[in-house]
Amino acid sequence: MLRFTKYFSGALAVALGAGLAGCVEPYAPDVISAPNRYLVVDGYINLQGVSTIRLSRTKNLNEPVPPPAETRATGYIQDDAGARYPLYEVGGGTYASAFLTLSPARQYQLHLHTAAGRDYDSDPVAAKPAPPIDNLTWDRDYAGVHVYVSAHDATNATRYYRWTYAETWEFRSAYPSAYVYNRTTGVMEPRTENINLCWVSANSTAIPLSKTTALSQDVVANFPVISLPENSVKLSIGYSVLVQQYAQTPEEYAYWEKLKKNTEEIGTLFDPLPTQLTGNVHCLQDAAEPVLGYVGAGAVTERRLFIDNHSLPSSIRFQTGYETCAPPDKVLLSDVRSYFTNPTSLPLYALYDPGSGAVIGYAGGSAGCTDCRLRGTNVKPSFWP
């Protein structure tokens, strides 16, 4: 569809390019604090599996702590026939149902009872199982690497799509380490565990959305879900993404669209006016209490894509995330003890005397530049080829 905000940010780009010195700077307002901490309901009712609901509270803008979790609440999912499926607290404000198989023909709602004694209901919503993802492809242009999703619904029933995704990528630390310094014995031992090659995963934070209501068929053709700079560290060795597809009701789509507009598509010349968005959850004791979040119901479909760095031009200089690493230190044998006793310094490789070939010391790097486990895991994910 026509995406205005793209144009508007482009307008700014042209303004910049044409010699207007448009600029964006960080802005910290005087302390703004909300009068209350409102309940936030994040999750959806899964027709095929475990439904997970996270309850938290809003926090003030400048508070560096994560939003406080809402614990010790109880709740259940209820269908329009009255059947109830309880939720169990799994800790940290997260509540889960048992593995459920729910009928897509029914309507569902969530009921919550907080420790403070207040009751909340979400509006009953129609269940919308998502059609399968037909294809997940990628290409590369001047703006970077893009991942496209294609799907269709022959019954024309879906129309409103939303995606989430989980990215995983392989990366290397700046320096491989062949040795471990045994601090108790003071002996340099060969390292058996690879701490140079790791994998890291991240969940989507953006909200990719698309609707096909303007099309004659319910077809999503090559919708760009993810765009990466072509030199992104994510693409430097191997990249994989699991895209999950949700079907939505028009109301749920409108909610996510507003949420996206409020927090993503702004900062342009022609900003949409922000909206005081809440969702479909209401407090039964006080209808005026804002409750944030939209609880939909559906079944997710998913598909995975791999991008190998061999399929990208070798001329690309990938970011590594280790650009600021200093060159390794040369640590002479006499200094080994004092240098490597500090756990933030790791031995890399042995240094030899060019003449005699004897070990005269070890190269030393900081753990942050050497141990990839500080940023990910060195356990290869099961799905990795």
Partner 1 sequence: MKHFYALILLVLLGASSFRSYGQAPEPLVSGNFQGLSVEAFARRLEAQTPYRFFFDSVAVRGVLLTVQAQGQPLASVLQQALAPTALRFAIDEEHNVFITAGTAVSTALLESYFRGAPGAAAAGNAPAAGPVGPAAPAAARGTDSPARLYEIGAAGAAGTGRATLAGHVREAKSGEPVLGAAVYIESPAIGASTDQFGYYALTLPVGPHVLNIRGIGIKNTQRRIVLHADGQLDVEVAEDITALKEVLIEAEKDKNVAGMQMGLERLDLKTLRQVPTAFGETDVLRVVMLLPGVKTIGEGSTGISVRGGATDQNLILFNDATIYNPSHLFGFFSAFNSDLLKSVELYKSAIPARYGGRISSVLDIATRDGNNKQFAGTGGIGLLTSHLTLEGPLAKGKSSFLVGGRTSYSDWLLHTLPSQALRQSAASFYDLSAHITHEFNEHNTVYATGYLSHDRFKLATDTAYAYDNRAASLKWKHIFGNKLYGVLTGTGSEYQYRITNDKNPVNASALTFGIGQVGLQADFSYFHNATHTVEFGGSTLRYRTAPGTLAPLGSASLVVPDALPREQAQESALYASDQINLTPRLAVYLGLRYSLYQALGPRDVAQYAPGEPPSPGGARDTLHYGAGAAVATYHGPEYRVSVRYALADNASVKASYNRTRQYISQLSNTATVSPTDIWKLSDAYIRPQVGDQVALGYYHNFKHNTIETSVETYYKAVHDFVDYKSGASLLLNHHLETDLVNAEGKAYGVELSIKKITGKINGWLSYTYARSLVRVNPGTPADRINGGEYYPSNFDKPHDVTLVGNYRFSKRFSTSLNFNYSTGRPITLPLATYVIGGAERVYYSDRNAYRVPDFYRVDLGLNIEGGHKVKRLARSSWTVSVYNLTGRKNPYSVYFKSVDGKISGYQLSLFGQPIPSVTYNFKF
Window 57 to 86, contacts with partner 1 (CB under 8 A): 57-61, 66-67
Are 228 and 179 contacting, i.e. CB atoms less than 8 angstroms apart? no
Query: Does 277 sit near partner 1 (CB under 8 A)?
Result: yes
Closer Cβ to partner 1, 206 or 351, answer by number: 206
Report which of 49, 168, 57, 190 is spatially closest to residue 120, judged by C-alpha positions.
57
Cβ neighbour number for residue 46 with a 10 Å cutoff: 21
Cα separation, 80 vs 108, whole angstroms:
6
Q: Judged by CB under 8 A, which stretch of 120-128, 174-182, 209-217, 351-359 contacts partner 1?
A: 209-217
Q: Min. distance of Cβ 228 from partner 1 in angstroms? A: 12
| DSSP category for residue 206 | S
- Reduced to 3 states (helix: H, G, I; strand: E, B; else coil), residue 35 is coil
Q: Show the DSSP H helices in 331-384 as ranges.
A: 336-340, 367-370
Query: Does 284 sit near partner 1 (CB under 8 A)?
Result: no
Cα separation, 97 vs 69, whole angstroms:
18
Cα separation, 147 vs 277, whole angstroms:
30
Q: How many residues bind partner 1 (CB under 8 A)?
A: 79
Cα separation, 25 vs 18, whole angstroms:
19
Site track 288-307 with partner 1 (rule: CB under 8 A), x = hit: --x-xx--------------
Q: Min. distance of Cβ 240 from partner 1 in angstroms? A: 18
* Window 9 to 38, contacts with partner 1 (CB under 8 A): 10-15, 17-29, 32-34, 37-38
* Window 154 to 183, contacts with partner 1 (CB under 8 A): 164
Q: Min. distance of Cβ 52 from partner 1 in angstroms? A: 12
Binds partner 1 by CB under 8 A, chosen from 197, 266, 312, 360: 266
Binds partner 1 by CB under 8 A, chosen from 45, 47, 53, 56: 56
Closer Cβ to partner 1, 20 or 284, answer by number: 20
Binds partner 1 by CB under 8 A, chosen from 263, 311, 338, 342: 263
Both structure tokens of 200: 């890291």
Cα separation, 96 vs 103, whole angstroms:
18
- Reduced to 3 states (helix: H, G, I; strand: E, B; else coil), residue 337 is helix
Report which of 143, 37, 43, 53 is spatially closest to residue 94, judged by C-alpha positions.
53
* Window 78 to 137, contacts with partner 1 (CB under 8 A): none
Q: Min. distance of Cβ 268 from partner 1 in angstroms? A: 8
Q: Min. distance of Cβ 21 from partner 1 in angstroms? A: 4
* Window 223 to 262, contacts with partner 1 (CB under 8 A): 254, 257-259, 261-262
C-alpha distances (whole Å) from 365 to each of 175, 335, 378 are 7, 14, 19
Closer Cβ to partner 1, 293 or 365, answer by number: 293
Query: Does 271 sit near partner 1 (CB under 8 A)?
Result: yes
What number of CA atoms fall less than 13 Å from residue 355's CA on the CB side? Answer: 0
Please list the residues that pair with 165 across neighbouring strands: 243
Closer Cβ to partner 1, 9 or 378, answer by number: 9
Both structure tokens of 123: 């509006």
Q: Judged by CB under 8 A, which stretch of 168-176, 182-190, 204-212, 233-241 contacts partner 1?
A: 204-212
Closer Cβ to partner 1, 180 or 219, answer by number: 219
